[in-house]
Amino acid sequence: MIRGLLSGTIVLLAGSAMAIAAPKDDVQAAAQKLADANNYSWKQTSPPPAAAPGGDNANGGRRRGRGGFGFGGPVEGKVADGFVMVTTGTGDTARESISKGDKTVIKTQDGWQTPEEIRAAADANGNGNGGRRGRGGFGGAARAPGGQAATLAKYVADLKEADGAYQGDLSEEGAKGFLMGGGRRGGNGGNGGPEISDAKGTAKFWVKDGNLTKFEYHVTGTISFNGNDRPIDRTVTVEISDVGSTKIAVPDDAKKKLES
């Protein structure tokens, strides 16, 4: 009888453990499935942060919230056939890039150019900011959100379902990484990098039929760089669509550079 009671207790405990682990397992599986997918579209939105307390409103809280760290504007992207196409911003300020592997080309008034070509042209014209402009959001390969979602899920210790989404708190390390943009390790002031303090964050994931359809993170903290403290309060929402049916029309001149 005692053996039977013990067996029953073990089964109950095991069932409870599985129930607790299931939400995170489901989210990680869905995020990894998206990361492994090679055909989908997405839209990313991030409302401009409020003005920093005590900041110069004449300069606009939006600039202080983003300045120097490469954030801003809505992002729309597509992944298909090994290519990643990203459009940042809208209207006259929209910027387009296409990546394949570790190569990227950017649409300029002179056609599709690599970051190296942009920097070289800027330097030839005596523009001392050529290197920085070449990096500004397009210096490296355009990133699809699948890997970001998988990274985000790893930094959430406990997920609970509420209002149709899995929700949880980010670890301090995760919050620091996403304050810097997309899950990179947060700075600690070493090697001339920024120092991050009071980093906190939450994450939400929407999963339907085993597929990640949307995810969102909200991070707050202070980034200190070159003696300037910049309070950050950022919410980023990414919606996934057209999985399996997305197509990308890559211009011939862009494809030539990407596949050379």
Q: Confidence class of residue 15 from pLDDT cuts 50, 70 and 90?
A: very low
Output the pLDDT for position 89: 87
Q: What does the alpha-carbon distance between residue 240 and residue 214 come to, in Å, rounded to a whole number?
A: 6
Q: Whole-model pTM above 0.75?
A: yes
pLDDT, tens digit, for every residue of 100-148? 999 999 999 999 999 999 999 888 877 655 444 433 444 445 678 888 9
pLDDT, tens digit, for every residue of 35-92? 888 899 999 998 875 544 444 443 433 333 333 334 557 999 999 999 999 999 888 8
Radius of gyration of the chain, Cα coordinates, nearest whole angstrom: 22
